[in-house]
Amino acid sequence: MAKLNEAAVAQIEGICDRYKNEKTPLMMILSDIQNEYGYIPLEVQELVSKKTGISVAEIYGVVTFYSFFSLTPKGKYVIGCCLGTACYVKGAQIVIDRFSELLGITPGQTTKDGLFTLDALRCIGACGIAPAVSINGKVYPKVDVEEVEGIIESYKKEASA
Amino acid sequence: MSLINIKIEGIPYQVEEGLTILEAAKKCGYEIPHLCYFNHGECSQGSCRVCLVEVKGARGLVASCVYPVNDGMEISISSAEAVAARRRSVELLLSDHNQFCQACDKNGKCELLHVAIVTDARSGVFGGSHSEVHLDEIAPGLVRDTSKCILCGRCIERCKNAHGLGILGFENRGFNTFVSPADDRSFEDSPCIQCGQCVNVCPTGALMEHSEIDKVDHALRYGKKIVIAQAAPAVRAALGEEFGYKIGTPVTGKMIAAMRRLGFAKIYDVNFGADLTIMEEGTELLGRLKNGGVLPMITSCSPGWVNFAEYNYSDLLPHLSSCKSPHQMQGAILKSYWAKQHDVSPEDIFVVSVMPCTAKKYERQRDQLKVNGLSDVDAVITTRELARMIKRAGIMFDRLPDEDWDQDIMGDYTGAGVIFGVTGGVMEAALRTVYFKLTGKESDPIEFKEVRGHDAGIREASLDINGTTVNVAIASGMKSARVLLDDIRAGKSKYHFIEIMGCPGGCINGGGQPYVREFFLPNEDDDILDTYKEKRAQALYSEDERMTLRQSHKNPQVKELYDKFLGEPNSHKAHELLHTTYAAREGYNEIKLS
């Protein structure tokens, strides 16, 4: 636990306390932590284990089961490329490959400068605008492979502004 | 309990309501093949799909280990569809299973192979991918090899049920799922206590003790050292099971004969060390009572328990007796007093402990237990490993004569030492000696039956010894121990002396003991999973009753050891050789690179 500072410990304990009356609080606690910090490292899982009595191995199992949870920090901009059936047949694979090529990372990885994380998503329910890409909640419809470079540049510009 | 009517293969039966099909069928005389289900549903995930049966009117085949019977149910175990489905389930498991069976130490006791034979499953029916293998051979006590894991979850449940720990869990998803301590750590880099309960329930060879047979072989064949073996009390109560004896048959004489034929120079009983432990621990307790020391004092014989304390209750470490465990004490005496008597250097002695325990493999490597940089014990093999060595040597165990321990210097032992192997035994042995020390006479009757048991759970007793009230408690399995420990933490504990053993039931049910599987034991009663601990315990209590000397302080060679070498219990010399220290440990935070 040595790596966590006091403020973080207090905040995570606070999150655990929010759901102390729930029968099965784990998913809600982990969701809040994921949203708050962007990832759930082992030290944080140990703290959650102490607060809830759920074993670390079980928490780790849940964190690694759901792709929504992450063990490592995500980038400032999380690029989610939908690879659901509709997007896939509309060329989503070429789109995500282009992101991969330009950012130099494979899906699931984060760029060294901490700016971008590339995620492959299963259907995000936007089949009408396939292929869809979602970046920090903003959805890009009918993405053409030629647009990818421009999208990346716009975020780089935003970050350096 | 109301009875309901069911039919199996068209034949009517009456069974209790609320049973699963698997349990009900068993009562009617059918053993439905199963894998993930274990021990009255201690584990039943319904995940392996090996126990599928046909139920009239049900949608598809049902998993009999989780499906309850109801009135009028018609079940077919041997319908063509059910038979084919069970076979297919096993074939699918085999398709992603390491099938180097002849090189697997679980061979002969493997439940996957058993159901494969029963269901007539063929290997190689399904091709395709193999999941990534995670192999942990770093921990001294345990080995995890996921190439043999069938994801039944028994180990996960046992760790939770016995200890409330839950070291193991499922990681990842789908085909990438594997069982592991969090973060795919080695057991060594997690707060695992290495008790081996998970090994005892694993149906395959995915979880095993970390074998030290090679090390022993090397010492016996090529080494220039004197190889001395010492066996713990619980081993004799269970070793016979490996050779077809009924559970609870003590095989002390044949075990010694077999060990002699394996080539050990001397064979001693760890009971001598147990008697020595009582002298030291009893004196320590009386000292703490008299001088206002830290109370309650807690026993320290079980390395699983010591590990648990260091990880989870480090604030209570001053409560632990400073005594080493019996085999460590005996190893220390072998490498000092015995060495001196035989005019050999301590470095030239190789001590092998035969233990019912996997945590002892960890314990023997502890720095705190070394004397002048030398470990007391050089190798620890489990009861199962000893059986493997005996079988490998072609020794026909049942034809062996009954032989006796080597008698020089440390051959004597008392009944008090024997009962160390069962929960409550150390307490009873200590009370016999403490009674004598406080009153100057022997207790009558000798036994303190109120502290006896053979399973997890807490027992307590309050004894009035010559005006001194001694409150004692006993727990085995960390789940029970937590209750007593939390009371101490809260300042509410009324006890003076507590015995804690890592495994539920004590050493008789240790992580290195023979596997108990009802279908590999056709001559045992149906309820053997409920009674084996009691039967093994009985083997030890009966040996205690047969002994003429039943109190540790009466052991003549222990007395001699004090007269000639140690001085008196808790003397400076005794502290140097027989006592140890403990230290808090962080669970997941430290990765040990050694």
Q: B75: domain CATH number?
A: 3.10.20.740
For CA atoms B239, B240, B242, B246, give the dihedral sign: negative
Strands A138-140 and A133-135: antiparallel
Q: Which residue of chain A comes nearest to B589, CA vs CA?
A: A1
> Where are the alpha helices (H) located in B209-269, listed in sequence order?
213-221, 233-236, 252-262
In 3-state terms, what secondary structure has residue B78?
coil
pLDDT, averaged across chain A: 92
In chain B, residues 572-591 whose CB comes closer than 8 Å to chain A: 587-589
Task: Tell how far CA B153 is from the center of its chain.
Answer: 19
In 3-state terms, what secondary structure has residue B135?
strand
Q: Are B506 and B481 in contact (CB under 8 A)?
A: no
Evaluate whether residue B110 is within a structural domain: no
**Domain co-membership, B87 together with B166:** no
CA distances from A46 to A42, A58, B190, B193, B589 (A): 6, 11, 11, 17, 10
Alpha-carbon span B513 to B506, nearest angstrom:
11
Please list every residue in chain A whose beta carbon sits closer than 8 Å to the beta carbon of residue B153: none
**Domain co-membership, B147 together with B86:** no
Please list every residue in chain A whose beta carbon sits closer than 8 Å to the beta carbon of residue B587: 46, 56
Please list every residue in chain B whose beta carbon sits closer than 8 Å to the beta carbon of residue A58: 166, 169
Which of B171, B193, B210 is at the close of a domain?
B210
User: What's the gap in Å between the CA of A42 and the closest CA on chain B?
Assistant: 8
In 3-state terms, what secondary structure has residue B516?
coil
Contact B173 A46 (CB under 8 A): no
Q: What is the pLDDT of residue B297?
A: 97
Alpha-carbon span B157 to B161, nearest angstrom:
6
**Domain co-membership, B280 together with B191:** no
pLDDT in tens, B279-326: 999 999 999 999 999 999 999 999 999 999 999 999 999 999 999 999
Q: Are B486 and B171 in contact (CB under 8 A)?
A: no
Mean predicted confidence (pLDDT) in A60-68? 92
Evaluate whether residue B116 is within a structural domain: no
Alpha-carbon span B474 to B290, nearest angstrom:
22
Contact A60 B182 (CB under 8 A): yes
In 3-state terms, what secondary structure has residue B31?
coil
**Domain co-membership, B295 together with B338:** yes
Whether the pLDDT of residue B493 is over 60: the answer is yes
Please list every residue in chain B whose beta carbon sits closer than 8 Å to the beta carbon of residue A55: 160, 165-167, 169
User: What's the gap in Å between the CA of A71 and the closest CA on chain B?
Assistant: 10
Whether the pLDDT of residue A1 is over 70: the answer is no
Please list every residue in chain A whose beta carbon sits closer than 8 Å to the beta carbon of residue B174: none
DSSP notation for B445-463: SS--GGG--SSSEEEEEEE
CATH number at residue B181: 3.30.70.20
Q: Are B411 and B557 in contact (CB under 8 A)?
A: yes
Long-range pairs of B246-251 with CB within 8 A, sequence gap ≥ 24: B246/B523, B246/B524, B247/B516, B247/B521, B247/B524, B247/B528, B247/B531, B247/B532, B247/B535, B247/B536, B248/B532, B248/B535, B248/B536, B248/B538, B248/B539, B249/B539, B250/B539, B250/B540, B250/B542, B250/B543, B251/B397
Shortest CA distance to B38 belongs to which of B48, B27, B53?
B48
Share of chain B above pLDDT 90, in %: 88
The H or E element that residue B125 is part of is none
Please list every residue in chain A whose beta carbon sits closer than 8 Å to the beta carbon of residue B156: 57
Partners of residue B142 on adjacent β-strands: B209
Instruction: Band the pLDDT of B23: cuts 50, 70, 90.
Output: very high
Alpha-carbon span A92 to A131, nearest angstrom:
5
Q: In this structure, what token pair is assigned to residue A135?
A: 């970046």
The answer, yes or no, to whether ipTM is higher than 0.85 is yes
Instruction: Band the pLDDT of B332: cuts 50, 70, 90.
Output: very high
Task: Tell how far CA B315 is from the center of its chain.
Answer: 26
Which of B210, B231, B252 is at the close of a domain?
B210
User: What's the gap in Å between the CA of A116 and the closest CA on chain B?
Assistant: 24
B455 phi, psi to nearest 5 deg: -145, 180
Q: What's the CA angle centered on B563, arms B434 and B298, to 5 degrees? A: 30
Q: Which residue of chain A comes nearest to B178, CA vs CA?
A: A61
Alpha-carbon span B171 to A19, nearest angstrom:
24
Buried b / exposed e over B512-540, threshold 16 CB at 10 Å, is: bbbbbbbeebeebeeebbebbbbbbbbbb
Evaluate whether residue B585 is within a structural domain: no
Gap between the terminal Cα atoms of chain A: 37
In chain A, residues 33-52 whose CB comes closer than 8 Å to chain B: 42-43, 45-46
User: What's the gap in Å between the CA of B198 and the closest CA on chain A?
Assistant: 14
Shortest CA distance to B349 belongs to which of B225, B243, B453?
B225
In 3-state terms, what secondary structure has residue B531?
helix
E strands present in B175-296: 178-181, 207-209, 226-231, 266-269
The answer, for A161 touching chain B at a CB cutoff of 8 Å, is no
Strands B168-171 and A138-140: unpaired
Alpha-carbon span B567 to B576, nearest angstrom:
12
pLDDT in tens, B513-559: 999 998 899 899 888 999 999 999 999 999 999 999 999 999 999 99
pLDDT in tens, B89-124: 999 999 999 989 998 999 999 999 999 999 999 988
Q: Which residue of chain B comes nearest to A45, CA vs CA?
A: B182
Which amino acid is it at A114?
G
* Domain containing residue B518: 214-578
**Domain co-membership, B332 together with B434:** yes
Cβ-nearest to A46 among B165, B171, B588: B588
Share of chain A above pLDDT 70, in %: 99
Evaluate whether residue B111 is within a structural domain: no
Picking from B171, B198, B479 by the largest number of A CB atoms within 10 A of its own CB, the best residue to mutate is B171
Q: What is the pLDDT of residue B594?
A: 45
Q: Where are the domains of chain A?
A: 6-65, 77-160
Contact B169 A57 (CB under 8 A): yes
What residues have CB less than 8 Å from A2, skipping those under 6 apart?
B589
Contact B171 A61 (CB under 8 A): yes
**Domain co-membership, B250 together with B317:** yes
**Domain co-membership, B221 together with B200:** no
Shortest CA distance to B229 belongs to which of B274, B257, B269, B258?
B269
- The domain tally of chain B equals 3
Whether the pLDDT of residue B593 is over 60: the answer is no
Share of chain B above pLDDT 70, in %: 99
Alpha-carbon span B503 to B511, nearest angstrom:
8
The answer, for A56 touching chain B at a CB cutoff of 8 Å, is yes
Mean predicted confidence (pLDDT) in B51-69? 95
Mean predicted confidence (pLDDT) in B424-438? 93
**Domain co-membership, B435 together with B547:** yes
Shortest CA distance to B503 belongs to which of B493, B491, B512, B494?
B512
pLDDT in tens, A17-62: 999 999 999 999 999 999 888 899 999 999 999 999 999 999 999 9
Instruction: Band the pLDDT of B592: cuts 50, 70, 90.
Output: low
pLDDT, averaged across chain B: 94
Evaluate whether residue B112 is within a structural domain: no
Contact A57 B168 (CB under 8 A): yes
Mean predicted confidence (pLDDT) in B53-76? 96
Partners of residue B228 on adjacent β-strands: B266, B351
User: Residue written as tokens 């090899």?
Assistant: B145
Which of B181, B210, B239 is at the close of a domain?
B210
Alpha-carbon span A14 to B294, nearest angstrom:
36
Cβ-nearest to B182 among A2, A42, A65: A42
The answer, for B182 touching chain A at a CB cutoff of 8 Å, is yes
Mean predicted confidence (pLDDT) in B220-237? 94
User: What's the gap in Å between the CA of B172 and the closest CA on chain A?
Assistant: 5
Q: Are B184 and B171 in contact (CB under 8 A)?
A: yes
Picking from B189, B311, B589 by the largest number of A CB atoms within 10 A of its own CB, the best residue to mutate is B589
Q: What is the pLDDT of residue B78?
A: 96
Please list every residue in chain B whose beta carbon sits closer than 8 Å to the beta carbon of residue A68: none
In 3-state terms, what secondary structure has residue B571?
coil
**Domain co-membership, B391 together with B507:** yes
Please list every residue in chain B whose beta carbon sits closer than 8 Å to the beta carbon of residue A59: 182
Contact A64 B172 (CB under 8 A): yes
The answer, for B100 touching chain A at a CB cutoff of 8 Å, is no
Mean predicted confidence (pLDDT) in A131-142? 94
Q: How many inter-chain contacts (A to B, CB under 8 Å) are there? A: 49
**Domain co-membership, B178 together with B257:** no
Shortest CA distance to B4 belongs to which of B71, B67, B56, B64?
B71
* DSSP state for residue B189 in the 8-state scheme: G
Whether the pLDDT of residue B370 is over 90: the answer is yes
> Where are the alpha helices (H) located in B313-382, listed in sequence order?
326-333, 339-341, 359-363
CA distances from A104 to A96, A100, A150, B185, B245 (A): 12, 6, 16, 30, 65
Give percent helix, percent strand, percent coil of chain B, each to the nearest 5. 40, 15, 40
Mean predicted confidence (pLDDT) in B125-131? 89
Whether the pLDDT of residue B411 is over 90: the answer is no
Contact A57 B167 (CB under 8 A): yes
Alpha-carbon span B579 to B583, nearest angstrom:
14
**Domain co-membership, B195 together with B230:** no
A15 phi, psi to nearest 5 deg: -60, -45
Alpha-carbon span B173 to B153, nearest angstrom:
14
Q: In this structure, what token pair is assigned to residue B120?
A: 């007539």
Whether the pLDDT of residue B33 is over 50: the answer is yes
Which amino acid is it at B259?
M
Strands B168-171 and B178-181: antiparallel
Domain A77-160: state its class: alpha beta
pLDDT in tens, B563-591: 999 999 999 999 999 999 999 998 887 66
Give percent helix, percent strand, percent coil of chain A, each to the nearest 5. 50, 10, 35
**Domain co-membership, B187 together with B219:** no
Tell the burial category of B384 from Cβ atoms under 10 Å away from its Cβ (0-12, 13-18, 19+): buried
